[in-house]
Amino acid sequence: MSGTTIGLDELRTCILSAAPLELKGMGLLREQPRLIAGFASVPRAQIVEAVTEIVAYTERCAAAARSLANLTPVPLMNAIVWEFGI
């Protein structure tokens, strides 16, 4: 990616354009909030699929966070962060 630059506006647009991820487990909880209390009648296979998806998503997020943590810092020479002064 050498020689490629992206401005703050482009980064913001890119992040805002990402569609929200719909996880099956979250859909189940929205449809049947009684599921948390333990007396909903959801088929076991559907619960297993939803939990498996959430675990896989969590692992992908952790891997992405590790990758981001290992990126080489890029100095921002012209950025003004008003919270810290000029």
22 closest CA partner among 70, 54, 66, 61: 54
pLDDT of the residue at 74: 75
> CB-based contacts of 63: which residues, under 8 Å, 6+ apart?
none
Q: What confidence category does residue 58 fall into, taking pLDDT thresholds of 50, 70 and 90? A: very high
- Residue 69 in this model has a pLDDT that exceeds 80: yes
Alpha-carbon distance 68 to 28, whole Å? Answer: 31
Alpha-carbon distance 25 to 6, whole Å? Answer: 35
pTM: 0.57
Say which amino acid occupies 64: A
pLDDT of the residue at 37: 61
pLDDT tens by residue, 12-57: 888 889 888 889 888 887 887 666 666 567 788 888 899 899 999 9
> CB-based contacts of 24: which residues, under 8 Å, 6+ apart?
46, 49, 50, 53
Q: What confidence category does residue 4 fall into, taking pLDDT thresholds of 50, 70 and 90? A: low
Neighbours of 24 (CB within 10 A): 15
